[in-house]
A and B are shown apart, each in its own frame.
Chain A
Amino acid sequence: SYELTQPSSVSVSPGQTAKITCSGDVLAKKYARWFQQKPGQAPVLLIYKDTERPSGIPERFSGSSSGTTVTLTISGAQVEDEADYYCYSAPDIQWVFGGGTKLTVL
């Protein structure tokens, strides 16, 4: 079975750049997506096809890919960006998810 591995936590100060990685063999052949999850709220798609940003998502969120690792970058992180972030991909009909990264901005 496929696995996606993320760091459990990342911390930055407001205005700094946060980078969250996601690694897994499936990423060498399938696109990754990222969503943001805040307590009590529906998850929100941030990035699709490794690097594409849906309309309405701030430009400070960006994605990149290299081999079996994808990276979510938040340039100039803001306090409201404090949340859990998950990567996911679809090796077949099923989707696989990373374990999530808690971003602290303080």
Chain B
Amino acid sequence: EVQLVESGGGLVHPGGSLRLSCAASGFTFSSHDMHWVRQVTGKGPEWVSVIGTAGDTYYADSVKGRFTLSRENAKNSVYLQMNSLRAGDTAVYYCVRGNGLDVWGQGTTVIVSS
């Protein structure tokens, strides 16, 4: 079964940092781009970032310079390092398989609040 499991969310103060992890299983992880998409409750999702199979990364303007996406193929995992967090980063963060965003994890919740 293809599965993505996110972890690392939580409550953090503005200006703080969090590292989200996504563990993949059930498919050839190294052959797929991996994305992060976030969603504020009651709103449409927002694309955040992608890492290609060669490790190339792209970011939404809203997070560029603050978020860093990396992958570790040996562990079938991707990591989203989030620094200088703001209240506007509060959302559920989903790890999503490339190939047209065809498989989504359950999400992990990030709350940025003082």
Contact = CB atoms under 8 A, between A and B. Distances in A.
Interface of A: 33, 35, 41-45, 48, 54, 86, 88, 90, 93-100
A54 B102 contact: yes
A88 B46 CA distance: 10
Interface stretch (B9-17, B24-32, B73-81, B103-111): B103-111
A86 B37 CA distance: 13
A45 B47 contact: no
Given A42-B104, A88-B101, 5 more contacts: A42-B4, A45-B100, A93-B58, A96-B47, A99-B43
B112 interface: no
Contacts of B43: 99-100
Nearest to B37: A95
B45 interface: yes
Given A45-B103, A88-B101, A94 B58 contact: yes
Contacts of B104: 35, 42-45
A98 B101 CA distance: 15
A97 B103 contact: no
A42 B106 contact: yes
Contact of A95 (B47, B105, B106, B107): B47
Contacts of A35: 101, 104
